[in-house]
Structure 1
């Protein structure tokens, strides 16, 4: 569960993803077990929303840092515009609530 790839099989020089079924398994029981293991890994990967959100947040942070390094003035303007937008939204909500 801690990694996305399993160790390569002795006959396979490339590591398979956890959601792949190895080719060449002759025993039907072993084939069924491999398919079940791959299906469960795919379900876990698809249903693990916190991990997916965490990866998306990490990617967004990386992109934002790259943008800030490439163009610091535009990044500062984006932060100011975002702060003004949040302030305006809060002000509008409070104004509607107090009426």
Structure 2
């Protein structure tokens, strides 16, 4: 259940997501097992916040690198502006604290 690798299926079969229940199961026990497996997979996908954050961070890093390759001057300006904003925020917080 923790593996994201798809299960090898025959060429004619439709690949189902891990969170789907296959159609055509007639045995009630097998149906219940398939539903439980799909429900647990859905819970794992939804509740695994560190994995979701990691994927989002990886996507954002890839977008930033693509932007950096296409616009190096704008990237440098963005870094300088960001550093100035962080510096101003820290300066403002220290000034408020020391007053």
TM-score by length of 2: 0.90
Distance 2:26 2:64 in 1: 49
Report the counterpart of residue 89 of structure 1 in structure 2. 89
Q: What does 1:19-98 align with in structure 2 at a 5 Å threshold?
A: 19-98=19-98
Structure 1: runs of 5 or more not aligned? none
Distance 1:70 1:26 in 2: 56
Indicate the RMSD between aligned Cα atoms, in angstroms. Answer: 1.6
Change in 2 beyond 3 A, CA 1:25/1:11: farther
Q: How many residues align?
A: 98
Distance 1:12 1:28 in 2: 25
Runs of 4 or more consecutive aligned structure 1 residues displaced over 6 Å after TM superposition:
none
Structure 2: runs of 5 or more not aligned? none
